[in-house]
């Protein structure tokens, strides 16, 4: 009797253990909603995205194949004796109208004064400048006593609207008369015995002077992201390198930079995207005049100054196509980081 009761207890205990060790625990009733119910939760967001993103995108692509007021095909705008791409005529204009194709030298010169050439200048100079200055700020701020205050001051330009920053720096670059200079930069130059410079109308330095404003604004953003990455570098590795006799410069380039390289890549691609859609600074400071035009500013000019919807939307589509690869790189990097966790 005792033996059978013991066996019974052992059997019950085994069943409880098997029940506890079950690899598939029971699913709560609230989770048994089927495959259709989750889409109901997403429906409001999908409806908003469709109305404000998908539909305008499709409509923009459609308008890029139409004439100036969207009433006929872009092929109707072709002129006799001139190149014509049929329904792609707006794209021919957007891609080639700024260039002088009379000779290779003229083509090269006209490219670098076009909106495409200026955008490349912005990408190279501003991305390099913001990442370099932001990384330097992050490293130096990490070594000062009042780190939080230093980072707040360096990040402050991001709190100013781009329009406001453009107005401020337009006063800094202002060119008055030969006798009176109200611009801060020219006032300093003339007080030192130099001659004033029309910074925003002198080609080609005007584009680079506006780029400096962009670097001033965005360096704080890059510093914030890179400073967070620097905090993740293990102190043990750095201390071991210093014990082995490595100089600070070697530690920075051989240890710190390779560890935070994924973050630097994300910052670079993000800045490229920001530069490609840049509009505010150029519009406020020069209006795209004096050969400072960029792609986004040219899109605005075609649509709202020349009132040519077809050409303006064609430039917009080209701009979106240029941005897509960098968005893809950012998403790919994000998915790789998520998979590695």
pLDDT of residue 175: 86
Nearest to 292 by CA among 215, 212, 210: 210
pLDDT of residue 1: 46
- Residue 14 C-beta-side C-alpha neighbours within 13 Å: 6
Could you give the CA distance from residue 327 to residue 331 in angstroms, rounded to a whole number?
6
Could you give the CA distance from residue 43 to residue 34 in angstroms, rounded to a whole number?
16
> Cα–Cα–Cα angle for 56, 57, 59, nearest 5°?
60
pLDDT of residue 61: 93
- Counting beta carbons within 10 angstroms of the beta carbon of residue 203, is it exposed (0 to 12), middle (13 to 18) or buried (19 or more)? exposed
By three-state DSSP, how is residue 292 classified?
A: coil
Could you give the CA distance from residue 112 to residue 94 in angstroms, rounded to a whole number?
15
For the whole model, what pTM was predicted? 0.82
Question: 117-296: CATH homologous superfamily?
Answer: MetI-like (1.10.3720.10)
Could you give the CA distance from residue 99 to residue 107 in angstroms, rounded to a whole number?
6
DSSP 8-class letter at 27: P
pLDDT of residue 34: 67
Give pLDDT tens digits along the chain (341 positions): 444 554 555 455 554 544 455 556 665 555 566 677 778 888 999 999 999 999 999 999 999 999 888 888 888 888 888 888 888 999 999 998 899 888 899 999 999 999 999 999 999 999 999 999 999 999 888 888 888 888 888 899 988 888 999 999 999 998 876 667 778 898 888 888 888 888 998 888 999 999 999 999 999 999 999 999 998 888 888 888 888 888 888 888 888 999 999 889 889 999 999 999 899 999 999 988 899 999 999 999 999 998 999 999 999 999 999 999 888 888 888 787 777 76
């Amino acid at each position: 009797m005792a033996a059978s009761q013991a066996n019974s207890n052992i059997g019950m205990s085994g069943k409880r253990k098997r029940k506890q060790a079950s690899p598939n625990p029971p699913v709560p009733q609230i989770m048994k909603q089927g495959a259709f119910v989750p889409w109901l939760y997403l429906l409001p967001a999908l409806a908003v995205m469709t109305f404000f993103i998908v539909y305008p995108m499709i409509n923009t692509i459609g308008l890029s194949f139409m004439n100036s007021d969207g009433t006929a095909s872009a092929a109707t705008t072709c002129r006799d004796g001139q190149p014509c791409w049929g329904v792609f005529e707006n794209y021919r204009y957007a891609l080639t109208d700024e260039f002088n194709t009379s000779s290779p030298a003229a083509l090269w010169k006209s490219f670098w004064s076009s909106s495409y050439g200026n955008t490349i200048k912005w990408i190279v100079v501003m991305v390099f400048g913001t990442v370099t200055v932001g990384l330097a700020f992050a490293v130096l701020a990490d070594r000062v006593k009042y780190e939080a205050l230093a980072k707040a001051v360096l990040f402050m330009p991001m709190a100013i609207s781009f329009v406001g920053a453009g107005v401020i720096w337009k006063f800094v670059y202002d060119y008055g008369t030969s006798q009176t200079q109200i611009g801060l930069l020219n006032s300093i130059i003339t007080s030192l015995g130099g001659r004033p410079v029309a910074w925003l109308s002198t080609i080609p330095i005007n584009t680079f002077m506006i780029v400096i404003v962009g670097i001033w604004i965005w360096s704080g953003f890059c510093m914030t992201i890179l400073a967070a990455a620097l905090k993740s570098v293990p102190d043990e590795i750095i201390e071991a390198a210093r014990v082995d006799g490595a100089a600070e410069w070697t530690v920075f380039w051989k240890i710190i930079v390779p560890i935070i390289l994924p973050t630097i890549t994300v910052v670079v691609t993000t800045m490229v995207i920001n530069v490609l859609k840049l509009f505010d600074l150029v519009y406020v400071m020069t209006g795209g005049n004096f050969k400072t035009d960029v792609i986004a500013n040219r899109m605005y000019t075609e649509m709202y100054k020349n009132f040519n919807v077809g050409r303006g939307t064609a430039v917009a589509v080209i701009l979106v196509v240029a941005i897509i690869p960098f968005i893809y790189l950012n998403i790919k990097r994000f998915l790789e980081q998520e998979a590695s966790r």
